[in-house]
Amino acid sequence: MSAFDTCREAVKEFIVDLHTFATGAYLRESERAFWDAPFDEHALPELESLLLGQIDTIESFSSYADSEAVIANTRGFYDQLAAFNEKYACAVIEPEEEADIHTLMCSWWQIRGVETETLATLPTLHDTAENEP
């Protein structure tokens, strides 16, 4: 299994965890009486597709990608995630998921060989959203 295959498995686990949260599968039957789903679980295949697509994109980058290209790609990907999240009333990607996605993103770029200094300067989804007009 390649390093990027391991990344794909991590995305699948991330989506499974979100599905559990979205469906309330972690709750006891008695706890579901007054529970409302935090977001539509049907949003998750789209999020999974975006994340897996980003892995494919990073995998196709040269191992010598310059920091500007890496940061530009990351910013563009986060723009896609922000648009996705807005479509679902900003309920799918909350701060905890945002942090998890950023950690995943850094690990994907690290596998590609991006320098630690560049990883430290990668924007976050929050940074990207703040810079929108």
Q: How far is CA 40 from CA 24, 25, 82, 83, 85, in A?
A: 11, 14, 16, 16, 11
Q: What is the pLDDT of residues 29-66, one digit of tens each?
A: 888 888 898 999 999 999 999 999 999 999 998 776 78
| Cα angle, residue 93 at apex, residues 88 and 96 outer, rounded to 5° | 155
Inside any domain, residue 33: no
Residue 122, domain member (yes or no): yes
- Please check whether residue 88 is in contact with residue 72, taking contact to mean a CB–CB distance below 8 angstroms: no
Using one digit for the tens of pLDDT, what is the confidence trace for 9-30? Answer: 999 999 999 999 999 989 888 8
Q: Which domain holds residue 107?
A: 3-23+41-130
Whether residue 52 lies inside any domain: the answer is: yes
Q: Is residue 72 a part of any domain in this protein?
A: yes
pLDDT (0 to 100) of residue 132: 55
Give the span between the Cα atoms of 22 and 53, in whole angstroms: 22
83 found inside a domain: yes
Residue 95 included in any domain: yes
Residue 31 lies in a domain: no
Q: Which of 39, 40, 47 is nearest to 15 (CA)?
A: 47
92 pLDDT band (50/70/90 cuts)? very high
Residues 6+ apart with CB under 8 A from 125: 78, 81, 82, 93, 98, 101, 102
